[in-house]
Amino acid sequence: MAAEKRIRVMIVEDHFMVRMGLAAIVKSQPDMVTVAEAKDGPEAIALFHKQRPDVTLMDLLLPGIDGVQAISEIMKQQPAAKIIVVSAHGGDEDIYRAMQAGARAYYLKHVEGQELVAGIRAVHAGESPLAPEIAARLVERMRRAALSPREMEVFRLMAHGTTNKEIGSALSISERTVRVHISHLLMKLGCHDKTQAVSEAYRRGILHVGEAPKKI
């Protein structure tokens, strides 16, 4: 097939072996070609504007700028961009944030190669394929109230064992206000205590293991 008729794919993935695996899947298809590979968010944004791929495969947890931020930045400059998330994280919050940012489809990294290439073709054709499992998690998230930016700041600090007093000092708010925020986020998550809330946040993708609290 002539190069100009093939689907031009960019791969954004910080793990070398995963990136090579995705590139091999794309290379195995006669109607596809990899035109760029990026290891982090800033590189992804720069390469997208340089190469203008037809379809981009985007990981979520990336150095520098995460996948959701990278998607948002790309969509601001190119609203017609066609981006597929391929992530190890399948929490409903991960899926919701990615789709809100502009992703057209979402696959977990254990996806079979043939399903992924079918998804690339579908997205290239203007479709937004979602597996039933992913669609169900997205619906679950859409039914739930979102945490406010301030509640997320409190939550990230709380998840790292920071006391209410320390949270208040870090955010320049009173301990009483910290307790109010914690009460609200527990209610929104349907949890009875901090430990349960943190566990639920990791399950849903609101927080990720190893994620450091953002600097205030």
Instruction: Give domain limits for the chain.
Output: 3-142, 149-204
Question: pLDDT digits over 18-31, tens only?
Answer: 999 999 999 999 99
Residue 184: its pLDDT value, please? 87
pLDDT bracket for residue 173 (50, 70, 90): very high
Q: What is the mean pLDDT of residues 78-97?
A: 92
CA dist list (Å): 78 to 44, 84, 105: 13, 15, 17
Which is higher by pLDDT, 151 or 84? 84
Phi, psi for 52 (deg, rounded to 5): 45, 65
pLDDT bracket for residue 4 (50, 70, 90): low
Q: What is the mean pLDDT of residues 88-108?
A: 92
pLDDT bracket for residue 215 (50, 70, 90): very low
Q: What is the pTM of this model?
A: 0.75
CATH of domain 149-204: 1.10.10.10
Q: What is the mean pLDDT of residues 163-186?
A: 91
pLDDT, averaged across the chain: 90
pLDDT higher than 80, residue 208: no
CATH 3.40.50.150 describes domain 3-142: no
CA distance 11 to 37: 5
Domains 3-142 and 149-204 share a fold: no
Residue 216: its pLDDT value, please? 42
pLDDT bracket for residue 1 (50, 70, 90): low
Residue 91: its pLDDT value, please? 85
Kindly state the tokens that stand for 138. Answer: 């997205």
Kindly state the tokens that stand for 150. Answer: 């301030």
